Chain A
C-alpha cells in the first residue's frame, strides 16, 4: 500500500491510522464469518482502550462476526481482522472456532433452522 493521501478519502486514511500502518495480523487469522465476543475481563478495561478498539469492544458486547464489525464500524475487512486480532492477543476478545469438517448432522441442523424461519 502506498502511503495514504488525504485526497484518497477519509476512510482509507482512517483505517491506515487505525492499524498504524501494519498490514499483517498479529495472531490467529480470523475469517469474515469468525464470531468474536468481548471477554469478561475486557468489560472492566473498555474505557482505557484506544478509540477504534473501544468501539469494537463496545460492539462486541454481544457476539458478532468480523464482517459485522467491519460493516458497523465502516472498516475494511482487513483492518477489522487486524484490530480484532490484536484485541484477541490482549485477551480482550474471544474468537469462535471455525468449522473445519462438515457432516450430515451439521447440515441437517442448519436445514431445520432454515425451514423454521
Chain B
C-alpha cells in the first residue's frame, strides 16, 4: 500500500499535485497537455489590467494596460484520492503572477523546445534555473522540422550536464507518457541526492 492510500484511507482525503509544461509560443504545450489528459483540456483566462510593466514580450497583444493571459491544463486521476494536473504556462509572460501561481508547489517541469525556434524557450530555461524547480528539456519533433542531436541542443541552449534532454511527439500519447516518466525519473534521482525527501516550494502563496 502506498503512503497516499494509507494516509487517506480512513477519511478518503483527496490530494493533488502538479507538473508544469513550459516553453515559448507554439512549441506544443497545449498539444502535449491535451494528448495525455484524462479530461478534455481546459483553459483559464486572466485579464491583466495593470501589469504592463511585468510583460516582457512586446509581441503580446495588449491594448493600453490590458492583456489576456491564457493557461491550458489537463488532469490525470491516480486512484480515487490523488489528482495530477499538468499546467501549460502562458506564452512568454514569465514574470506575471500566473507563472508564479503555476510554478509554486509544482513537482517539476517539462521545457518544450521547437528546434526551429530555440529562442522561444530561453525564457523558460532561465526561469526554472532561477527558481530551482527541477526540469527536463524535451525537443518536440515536428514532422517538418529537423531534429537536433542532444549534443547540438545542449550546446545551442547551454543546458547544464545534469539536466536530462530527450525528444517527444506531442501528438502521440505513448511519447508524451514517456516524456512525463522521463521527468519523474529525473525527480527521483534528484530526491535520492537529497536524502529521499523534498519539500515543495510554496513560499509565495498567500500573496
B15 touches A96 (CB 8 A): yes
Closest to B36 in A: A117
Q: How far is the CA of A67 from the CA of B70 in the complex (A)?
A: 12
Give the interface residue-count category, chain B.
35 or more
Tell me which of A29, A35, A105, A114 has the highest count of chain B C-beta atoms within 10 A of its own C-beta: A114
Q: How large is the interface on A (under 10, 10 to 19, 20 to 34, 35 or more residues)?
A: 35 or more
A104 touches B196 (CB 8 A): yes
CB-defined contacts of A32 to chain B, threshold 8 Å: 18, 85, 87, 101-102
CB contact list, B90-125 vs A, under 8 A? 98, 101-102, 104-105, 107
The chain A residue with its CB closest to the CB of B17 is: A99
Q: Which of A69-117 contact B (CB under 8 A)?
A: 70-72, 74, 76-78, 96-111, 113-115, 117
Residue from the set B14, B38, B84 with the largest chain A CB neighbour count within 10 Å? B14
Q: Is A42 interfacial (CB 8 A cutoff)?
A: no
Contact indicator B205/A106 (Cβ below 8 Å): no
Chief secondary structure at chain B's binding surface? mixed
Please tell me if the beta carbons of A33 and B16 are within 8 angstroms of each other in the complex.
yes
Known: A99-B17, A102-B198, A107-B188. A67 touches B87 (CB 8 A): yes
Q: Is the CB of A102 within 8 A of B15?
A: no
In contact, A101 and B198 (Cβ under 8 angstroms): yes
Q: Is the CB of A77 within 8 A of B46?
A: yes
Known: A33-B85, A99-B16. A70 touches B188 (CB 8 A): no
- Whether A33 and B17, one on each chain, are in contact in the complex, defined by CB atoms closer than 8 angstroms, is yes
The verdict on B149 contacting chain A, using a C-beta distance below 8 Å, is: no
Give the docked Cα–Cα distance between A37 and B27 (Å): 34
Closest B residue to A98 by beta carbon equals B105
Report the separation of the CA atoms of residues A106 and B173 in the bound assembly, to the nearest whole angstrom.
23
Interfacial residues of chain B within 71-96, with CB under 8 A of chain A in the complex = 71, 73, 75-79, 82-85, 87
Contacts of B73 in A (CB 8 A): 67, 71
Contact flags (1/0) for B167-194 with A, using CB distance below 8 Å? 0000001000100110011011001100
Beta-carbon contact of B200 and A99 below 8 Å: yes
B199 close to A100 (CB less than 8 A): yes
Assess whether B203 is interfacial by the CB under 8 Å rule: no
A108 to B196, CA, bound (A): 12
Q: Is A12 an interface residue (CB 8 A)?
A: yes
Cα distance A98–B105 in the bound complex, in angstroms: 8
